[in-house]
Structure 1
Amino acid sequence: MYAPIPCNMICGVIFDLDNTLVSSALDFDWLRQQLGCTVETDLLEYISDISDLSLRTQLGNKVIEYELADARQSTIMPECENLLLYLRQQKIPTAVVTRNCAQAAKLKIDHHQLQFDRIVSREEFPPKPAPDALLDIAKQWRLAPKNILYVGDYIYDLQAAFHANMPSCLVTNGEELPFIDQASIVVQQLDSLTDILREQAYMSLQEHDSVEV
């Protein structure tokens, strides 16, 4: 159980990719079964722990093929473009941290003509729930982690944010999720997050004006 980091002044936003910004139909239970991985085991860890290089490469390539096929049929999530437009207007930096391979991530982002200051795939850092990628982006942006919001749809996203000392936003997509209480913010769709960020920016401006007076 992870207690969420309080969400106050947000100066940067990092996103998960699948079912946060674009749709994904990846069935990891089916894929685990195909690759001989138990349900309880993280698939990427299972493959990385295989000592036989040939087999490890073979299974890794199968995962990449599956991800690329999913990328080609993906659609953009509701209100994604409006949220990203708002963040650009406010000059708030954005990034993507995904467990996808680099090829699939680039294919999805390019296909939907999305723009980010940085895109990090699993080849660059240990995959979520490890916080390494989030912390590296915070360092690059020269922002305190507590001022960066990580947005995702799964428990790994919330855990990565917690370990990076970042507030998190859980996008439920209308589902009842068992880890909802571990998120700093909970929204059904991204338009609600846009509203929350607008309200925070307004409140911050009001506080600033009152201090000046």
Structure 2
Amino acid sequence: MQTPIPCNMINGVIFDLDNTLVSSALDFDWLRQQLGCSADTDLLQYIDEIPTLSLRKKLQQTVIDYELADARQSTVMPQCQQLLSYLNQQNIPTAVVTRNCAQAAILKINHHKLQFKHIVSREDFAPKPAPDALVYIAEQWQLAPQNILYVGDYVYDLQAAYRANMPSCLVTNGENLPFTQQASIVIQSLGGLIKILRQQAYMLPQERDRVECNIQSGN
């Protein structure tokens, strides 16, 4: 099992989208069954490896249509607006890296009036758990990956952060998840991250250098 990257000084935050910033009712088990994909196979990889171009494009469009329908009925997650407002006040840059298609990601973000300079979808880089998109954001910000926190709700998010040499924050949304030990920080909702970042803001420089935020937060 991977050991999470220690979380020291956070100078940038990257977010997953679905069930992290906005809700999602996507049922990938059901979708796999509809598309003939086995339960233990990554759906996007399964589609990409289909040799027949016409069938591959058909299945890709089926997934996009499903994502767009989900985007139209999404809601913003608890404490999302408060967290983004706090990060903006602290001049901490933010971005989104999602496995969603670009259309669905932009639809969700615009619908809920969220603002991000960088929105990276699966059309831009290899999808998570590949680290490519996270590495790209770090280069754009000219920040060390160790000083950027990736926030998500699924094991792919933790794996991508680890491969990018970034600390990770797992949002459990109140669920008992089996992969919490792979996260640098575990919170129930986004409000818990506000508390952690405020604690960091009040630390002296020498304290920031020592702290390792492998924290379990109840909020």
Flag whether TM exceeds 0.5 (same fold): yes
CA distance in 1, matches of 2:96, 2:78: 17
Q: List alignment gaps of at least 5 residues for structure 2.
A: 209-219
> Secondary structure at the residue paired with 2:14?
strand
Residue by residue, what CA displacement relative to the aligned partner does 1:107-143 show, whole Å, maximum 9, x if unpaired? 0000000011210000000000000000000001000
Question: 2:43: which partner in 1?
Answer: 43
Question: 1:211: which partner in 2?
Answer: none
- 4+ runs deviating over 3 angstroms: 204-208
CA distance in 1, matches of 2:204, 2:168: 19
Question: 1:107: which partner in 2?
Answer: 107
Question: 1:164: which partner in 2?
Answer: 164
- Counterpart mapping for 1:11-50 below 5 A: 11-50=11-50
CA distance in 2, matches of 1:206, 1:149: 20
CA distance in 1, matches of 2:204, 2:124: 35
Shift of 1:2: 1.1
Question: 2:184: which partner in 1?
Answer: 184
Q: Which amino acid aligns with 2:124?
A: E
CA distance in 1, matches of 2:198, 2:39: 41
CA RMSD for the aligned pairs?
Answer: 1.1
Shift of 1:206: 8.1
Question: 2:56: which partner in 1?
Answer: 56
CA distance in 2, matches of 1:49, 1:204: 51
> Secondary structure at the residue paired with 2:165?
coil
CA distance in 1, matches of 2:156, 2:206: 35
CA distance in 2, matches of 1:168, 1:145: 11
Q: List alignment gaps of at least 5 residues for structure 1.
A: 209-213
Residue by residue, what CA displacement relative to the aligned partner does 1:59-81 show, whole Å, maximum 9, x if unpaired? 00000000000000000000000
Q: Percent identity?
A: 75
State the TM-score, normalizing by the size of structure 2.
0.93
Question: 1:5: which partner in 2?
Answer: 5
> Secondary structure at the residue paired with 1:119?
strand
